[in-house]
Amino acid sequence: MEISGKSVFRGIAIGKLAIFKKTESRVKREHIRDVPAQLERFEQARETAKAQLRVLYEKALKEVGEVNAAIFEVHRMMLDDPDYTESVNSMIATQEINAEYAVAATGDNFSAMFAGMDDEYMKARAAEVKDISNRVIAVLQGESAGAPAAAEPVILLADDLAPSETVQLDKSRVLSFVTRHGSANSHTAILARTMNIPSLIGVDFPDDAAGKTGIVDGYKGLLLIDPPQETLDEYRARREEDEEKKRLLLELKGKENVTRDGRRIDIYANIGSVEDVALVLANDAGGVGLFRSEFLYLESEDYPSEEEQFAAYRKAAEMMSGKKVVIRTLDIGADKQAYYFGLDREDNPAMGYRAIRICLDRVDIFRIQLRAIYRASYYGTIAIMFPMIISVDEVRRIKEIIAGVKAELDAESLPYKDVELGVMIETPAAVMISAELAREVDFFSVGTNDLTQYTLAIDRQNPKLDGIYDPHHPAILKMLQMVADNGHAGGCWVGICGELGADTTLTEEFLRMGYDELSVSPSMVLRVRQRVRELG
């Protein structure tokens, strides 16, 4: 049997199939007399659930980096949401019901509310509210919100996998996972790619597949069940070829990113924490092309201080030993929420109050971050780039703030270096005024993920639109050429830091366009280097 799906990570997996079925906690409504005791039970369960999420966050941080671990911080903050906690407490107190039922009812109500919204980002919150509610219920009932387990290496089949379940997978016993639902841009899919597990979504596998032999073809997006021996032999040979290719990639360490005819390009890495610098060095990247500084805010219970930020930026600069570290200033908002910012719910958060718009509105927060970055610049080679830019006026306001920060540091005799300033090109507006922007900054870095969704008017988190979400769209490629041309004409170096930078089918095109730098996930650095060295 051969079933088609959508690949979220390429590769070949061969093994026994196992089906993971979630056990839904059955919650009964019970009338109680001791309301304070039930309120206390809920509070203790909520704190226990938050502690569990913190453990998951730390585990994910080590295995898949800060960017992908952030979902657990988001879940933890959702448990602190006053609307959520007040709903549970109110139901317990006014209806005199048990904590389990109040949590379940609140989870259902909030989930239905989010699911009914027009905005796809808010719709995605529906499943997350259910997830955190189920975790609290499991604690109240003395159960563990565990992950799928297997006694031997298996290909795991599931309706869907929550990020918490995915990150807890014992990778030594999971060869691949295949789900009926999910999006190629979901948190789980991103985790799968980072964990290097061949994976498929949208596969309508039969319920009697458990125990049968299966093959996951992450190149063609196929699940094969009980294949004939000839097919098994063919795929085993292909799997061996894949392993040999991985070994050959390691031989590229220390080699230059130069084509056969002498064209050179820098290959940097995207990271979300200081801990990720180890991955940058291990994969021989030339520098850090995107340090996502917002995760210093997402992992904190309050605004991180100047000293906390300075320590993180300094450590990254020192670990990179003079190699460039491009720090993106705070990009909070949209799908990255820190409750202490007090951000309002928005109908369209992806295009709302976020990133540089918050920084230029709440200048005190921005100044603290800039002071920390400039102080850290003394200890290495740091550049700064600003997200969601749509006008020259924004850049000029930023430079005025920076001038004030430098004057403060001078007055306090705190050393710093001059750093390169750049903007992220992730809006069509920034593309169209890139010639004017190039006269204001030192470099451009194209965020292809947002640029694609804004240009095509497609929410990249909406699985219904996966079929038409096309980062290879001619409009995107024309915009990339325009940015490169205008940047170079204005004296800027130009790079790409979105996922498209790791698309080796376009590497030759990027070189032809004249891009100076590609910044990719650490695990893709050597693969892109290999492609560059094959060209020319």
Q: Minimal CA–CA distance to 19: which of 191, 200, 178, 162?
A: 178
**Sheet strand arrangement including 6-9:** 2-4, 222-225, 213-217, 12-20, 154-158, 174-179, 199-201, 6-9
Buried b (16+ CB within 10 A) or exposed e, 46-74: beebbebbeebbeebbeebbbbbbbbbbb
For residue 488, indicate whether it is catalytic: no
Place of tokens 């453990």: 55
384 and 327 Cβ atoms separated by less than 8 Å = yes
Catalytic residue among 31, 181, 187, 492: 187
- Residue 214 CA to chain centroid, in angstroms? 30
Please state, in angstroms and rounded to a whole number, the distance separating the CA atoms of residues 350 and 335: 7
Please state, in angstroms and rounded to a whole number, the distance separating the CA atoms of residues 465 and 123: 14
Q: Minimal CA–CA distance to 446: which of 392, 480, 496, 484?
A: 496
Please state, in angstroms and rounded to a whole number, the distance separating the CA atoms of residues 30 and 188: 36
- Residue 48 sits at φ, ψ, to 5 deg, of -65, -45
Place of tokens 């240009």: 455
Query: Which helix (H) or strand (E) element contains residue 372?
Result: helix 363-376
Catalytic residue among 75, 359, 492, 497: 497
Please state, in angstroms and rounded to a whole number, the distance separating the CA atoms of residues 134 and 125: 14
For residue 181, indicate whether it is catalytic: no
Tokens of 401: 């703030």
Residues paired with residue 383 on neighbouring β-strands, in sequence order: 326, 420
Q: Residue type for 512, please?
A: R
Tokens of 428: 């069509």
- Would you tell me how many other CB atoms lie within 10 Å of the CB of residue 268? 26
Question: Per DSSP, which regions of 295-429 are E strands?
Answer: 324-328, 381-386, 420-425
- Residues with a known catalytic role: 187, 497
